[in-house]
C-alpha cells in the first residue's frame, strides 16, 4: 500500500493541493475565461504579429462559424497539419467550441502516413500549411477528406481546388453559433496518434477532462508556488503543438497563466538563443535534443540569460544526467526533468521548482495521480514492487486517456482495472521520487519522437528483394537514439544499402527512416521462427559498452 499512501506528498508545497481543482466544463469554456481575465493582453507573438486574447477568441469564433455553416457536427474530426503558429490555437479552439475532435498530424509525415491518419480518424476537414497541400491532394481520394483549409505566411499563393479555401476566407461572415453541450469526461477533444506501446499508430482519445486536468496539474506545480509572476510575462513556445507535450504542457498552460507566447515554428538553435536573450522569457521547455544543440554552442549559450528564468524544463525523452550538468554549468540555470506519455495527456511526473533536486530522477507525481511500480506474477497478477526495486510503472489519474480510437482490444491491453500500464521499467526511492530504468521494449526515441520498429519494418518489406527485416534503436550522442535496420535479402537478390535507405526516406518521416542499414545472412529467430529484435539490440548495446 506504500504507493497509495503517496510518499511524495511530503514534498508538496502548502500552496499545492493534493488534488487538482477544475472549474471549467470544456476547453472552450477555459478559453472564454482566459479571455475575460486577460482581454487585450498579448497572447501570441509570431514574427512581429501580435494577437491579443480578445483577438484570439474572435478568430476562433469566426472559424467555428465557418465550419458550422459547412455542416460541421459535434463529433466530426478536423485534421491539423501545421507548424507552430497562432493559427494552430485558432483551429483547435474552433473545433472545441463545436464539440469536434482535433486530429494531430505531424508535419513531417509523408503521403502514406498522412493517408493512414486521415483514413483511421475519418477526418472530413483538414487545416494545413500551404507547403503540405500538394501531398494531401495526392492521397485525398483514398480518405474521407472533403475540404482543405490552407494557411499561408506569404509568397506566391498556390491555386486551390474549387472545394478548398485559404484560412482568411473562412473568417468572413457573421458569428452565429449556439452553445454546444460538452460532457467533459466522455467527449473527445484530441486524437493524438502514437504507437501506444507497440505497432502501428493508434489515435489516443484525450477528452476535455483529460486535458483540462493535465495542464492544470502542470500549472499548479509550476506557478502556484511562485510569488512574483510578472504581469506580462513571456514564454517561448517552440515545442511542437502537434505533440501533446507542446500542446498541453506549454501552449495551454500559457493561456491559463495569461502569458505572451513567443511562437517559433521550428527549433533553430541560434534563433532560440537569440529569442531567449531578447525576450527574457519567464519559463522555457524543450526536449533533450534541443538542450544538446544548445550545449553545442557554449559561448552563445552563456550569454542568453537562462539563469534568469524561473523554470527550465525537459521532457519527451530521457534526459542524460551529463547533458543536464553541462547545460547547468554553462548557464547557471537548473534543468528539471520529467516524464509523461501521450496516453496520459502527457504529464505524469516531473520536478517542480519547489522540490529538492535529485540528479537522474524524473521527480514526483502531479496532483490527483497515483503511480505504482508493479511486477507480474506467473499467475498474471500484478503485485507492488518493494521500494527501491524495479518493475513496470503504472498510472491512475484524471489525465489517463479514454482509450485508443476504435481499438477496444488495444485499450484493454494497456488499461487494466483502471490502471494505465506504460511498459516502462522504473523504480521509486524511499522519498517517493521516481527513476526510469528502461523504456518500452522495442520503442525507439529519436530526437524526442517515438519510432515504432514494426511500422518501419512494414515499409521496408514493401521493397522487392527484402526477405526479413528487424529495426532497432542504436545509441546516438545527439538524437538519443537513431534508427538502424538489419536486413536479410531473398535468394538471388542484390540490393544496395543506399537503395534501401533512399526507399525508406521516400516513405517515412525523416526521424523514422533508418540512418543505417546492415545486411546479414540470417536474422535471429526463436524456436518457433519468431524474429527476435531484442537479440540484435542487445548485441548493438554490447558493442557500444565494450
Q: What does the alpha-carbon distance between residue 501 and residue 506 come to, in Å, rounded to a whole number? A: 9
pLDDT reported for residue 441: 67
Contact 457, 471 (CB under 8 A): yes
Residues 6+ apart with CB under 8 A from 191: 77, 101, 102, 103, 104, 121, 203, 204, 205, 206, 405
pLDDT in tens, 364-419: 999 999 999 999 888 889 999 999 998 899 999 999 999 999 999 999 999 999 99
Answer whether residue 425 shows pLDDT above 70: yes
Q: What does the alpha-carbon distance between residue 96 and residue 188 come to, in Å, rounded to a whole number? A: 9
pLDDT reported for residue 449: 87
Backbone angles phi, psi at 301, to 5 degrees: -60, -40
What value does the mean pLDDT of the chain take?
Answer: 93
pLDDT reported for residue 11: 97
Residue 150 vs residues 126, 176, 269: alpha-carbon distances, Å: 8, 23, 28
What nine digits make up the cell of 356?
529538492
pLDDT reported for residue 480: 86
pTM of the model: 0.89
pLDDT reported for residue 529: 61
pLDDT in tens, 454-510: 788 889 988 989 888 899 999 888 888 899 999 999 888 889 999 999 999 999 999
**In this structure, are strands 335-340 and 311-314 parallel, antiparallel, or unpaired?**
parallel
The conformation of residue 514, written as its DSSP 8-state character, comes to -
Structural domains of the chain sorted by starting position, each given as residue range(s) with its CATH number in brackets: 7-21+204-438 (3.40.50.12780), 52-181 (3.40.50.980), 451-545 (3.30.300.30)
pLDDT in tens, 325-369: 999 999 999 999 999 999 999 999 999 999 999 999 999 999 999
pLDDT in tens, 130-160: 999 999 999 999 999 999 999 999 889 999 9
Amino acid at each position: 500500500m506504500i504507493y497509495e499512501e503517496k510518499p511524495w506528498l511530503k514534498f508538496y508545497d502548502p500552496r499545492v493541493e493534493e488534488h487538482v481543482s477544475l472549474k471549467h466544463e470544456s476547453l472552450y469554456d477555459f478559453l472564454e475565461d482566459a479571455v475575460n481575465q486577460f482581454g487585450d493582453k498579448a497572447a501570441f507573438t509570431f514574427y512581429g504579429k501580435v494577437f491579443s486574447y480578445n483577438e484570439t477568441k474572435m478568430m476562433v469564433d469566426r472559424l467555428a462559424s465557418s465550419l458550422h455553416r459547412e455542416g460541421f457536427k459535434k463529433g466530426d474530426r478536423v485534421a491539423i497539419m501545421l507548424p507552430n503558429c497562432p493559427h494552430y490555437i485558432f483551429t483547435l479552439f474552433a473545433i472545441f467550441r463545436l464539440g469536434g475532435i482535433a486530429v494531430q498530424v505531424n508535419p513531417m509525415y509523408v503521403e502514406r502516413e498522412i493517408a493512414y491518419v486521415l483514413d483511421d480518424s475519418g477526418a472530413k476537414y483538414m487545416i494545413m500549411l500551404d507547403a503540405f497541400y500538394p501531398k494531401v491532394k495526392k492521397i485525398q481520394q483514398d480518405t474521407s477528406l472533403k475540404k482543405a483549409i490552407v494557411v499561408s505566411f506569404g509568397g506566391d499563393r498556390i491555386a486551390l481546388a474549387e472545394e478548398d479555401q485559404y484560412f482568411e476566407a473562412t473568417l468572413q461572415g457573421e458569428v452565429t453559433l449556439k452553445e454546444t453541450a460538452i460532457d467533459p469526461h466522455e467527449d473527445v477533444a484530441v486524437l493524438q496518434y502514437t504507437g501506444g506501446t507497440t505497432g502501428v499508430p493508434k489515435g489516443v482519445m484525450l477528452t476535455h477532462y483529460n486535458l483540462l486536468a493535465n495542464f492544470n496539474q502542470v500549472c499548479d506545480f509550476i506557478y502556484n508556488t511562485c510569488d512574483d509572476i510578472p504581469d506580462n510575462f513571456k514564454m517561448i513556445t517552440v515545442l511542437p503543438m502537434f505533440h501533446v507535450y507542446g500542446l498541453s504542457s506549454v501552449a495551454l498552460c500559457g493561456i491559463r497563466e495569461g502569458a505572451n507566447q513567443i511562437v517559433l515554428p521550428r527549433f533553430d538553435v541560434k534563433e532560440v538563443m537569440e529569442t531567449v536573450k531578447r525576450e527574457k522569457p519567464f519559463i522555457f521547455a524543450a526536449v533533450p535534443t534541443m538542450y544538446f544543440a544548445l550545449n553545442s554552442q557554449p559561448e552563445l549559450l552563456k550569454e542568453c540569460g537562462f539563469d534568469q528564468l524561473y523554470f527550465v524544463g525537459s521532457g519527451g525523452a530521457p534526459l542524460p544526467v551529463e547533458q543536464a550538468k553541462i547545460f547547468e554549468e554553462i548557464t547557471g540555470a537548473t534543468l528539471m526533468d520529467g516524464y509523461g506519455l501521450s496516453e496520459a495527456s502527457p504529464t505524469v511526473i516531473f520536478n517542480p521548482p519547489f522540490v529538492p533536486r535529485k540528479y537522474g530522477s524524473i521527480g514526483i507525481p502531479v496532483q490527483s495521480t497515483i503511480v505504482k511500480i508493479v511486477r507480474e506474477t506467473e499467475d498474471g497478477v500484478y503485485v507492488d514492487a518493494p521500494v527501491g526495486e524495479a518493475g513496470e510503472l503504472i498510472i491512475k489519474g484524471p489525465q489517463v486517456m479514454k482509450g485508443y480510437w476504435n481499438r477496444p482490444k488495444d485499450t484493454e491491453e494497456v488499461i487494466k482495472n483502471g490502471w494505465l500500464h506504460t511498459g516502462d521499467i522504473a523504480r521509486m526511492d524511499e522519498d517517493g521520487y521516481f527513476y526510469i530504468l528502461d523504456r518500452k521494449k522495442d520503442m525507439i526515441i529519436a530526437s524526442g519522437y517515438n519510432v515504432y520498429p514494426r511500422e518501419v519494418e512494414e515499409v521496408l518489406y514493401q521493397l522487392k528483394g527484402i526477405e526479413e527485416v528487424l529495426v532497432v534503436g542504436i545509441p546516438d550522442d545527439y538524437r538519443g537514439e537513431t534508427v538502424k535496420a538489419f536486413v536479410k535479402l531473398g535468394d538471388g537478390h542484390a540490393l544496395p544499402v543506399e537503395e534501401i535507405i533512399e526507399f525508406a526516406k521516400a516513405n517515412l518521416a525523416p526521424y523514422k527512416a533508418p540512418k543505417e542499414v546492415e545486411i546479414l545472412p540470417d536474422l535471429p529467430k526463436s524456436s518457433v521462427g519468431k524474429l527476435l529484435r531484442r537479440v540484435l539490440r542487445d548485441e548493438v548495446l554490447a558493442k557500444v559498452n565494450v
